[in-house]
Amino acid sequence: NAGVIQTPRHKVTGKGQEATLWCEPISGHSAVFWYRQTIVQGLEFLTYFRNQAPIDDSGMPKERFSAQMPNQSHSTLKIQSTQPQDSAVYLCASTPTDNNQAPLFGEGTRLSVL
């Protein structure tokens, strides 16, 4: 079991470019979460999928951010027209929803917007 896999580990974009972050949850886990970590705000919840359906996106910025889970093996977080304030570590986690288990986190994608 390779754990939650996030790619790329590091991404550098220019202001205004698009960034797509990938997450492969642990096989069999039906809940997938995205979090963002910055020095100033700490770790913040972004969005949550269960059985590929979006359940709670209350933490997502209303503009430029979108997340999808087209199949059970991966989820994507897309940021359009990236801004310097989007620079952060984006963490993905998964957990089986039918058991009371702690979410398992990937190693994150460090996004730097220049």
List the one residue from 42, 63, 71, 98 that touches another protein (CB under 8 A). Answer: 42
**Residues composing the chain:** 114
The residues that bridge with 55 in the sheet, in sequence order, are none
Does residue number 106 form part of the binding site for another protein (CB under 8 A)?
Answer: yes
Does residue number 48 form part of the binding site for another protein (CB under 8 A)?
Answer: yes
Choice between 13 and 37, CB closer to another protein: 37
Instruction: Confirm if 77 and 20 have CB atoms less than 8 A apart.
Output: yes
**Interacting positions 8-27 with another protein (CB under 8 A):** none
Does residue number 60 form part of the binding site for another protein (CB under 8 A)?
Answer: no
DSSP category for residue 26:
P
Coil, strand or helix at 72: coil
Choice between 1 and 14, CB closer to another protein: 1
Please state whether the peptide bond connecting residue 8 to the residue before it is cis, i.e. omega within 30 degrees of 0.
yes
Q: How far is CA 56 from the centre of its chain?
A: 13
Choice between 24 and 81, CB closer to another protein: 24
10 Å Cβ neighbour count for 96? 15
Shortest CB 7 distance to another protein, Å:
14
**Contact footprint for another protein (CB under 8 A):** 31, 33, 35, 37, 42-45, 48, 50, 55-56, 58-59, 89, 91, 93, 97, 100-108, 110
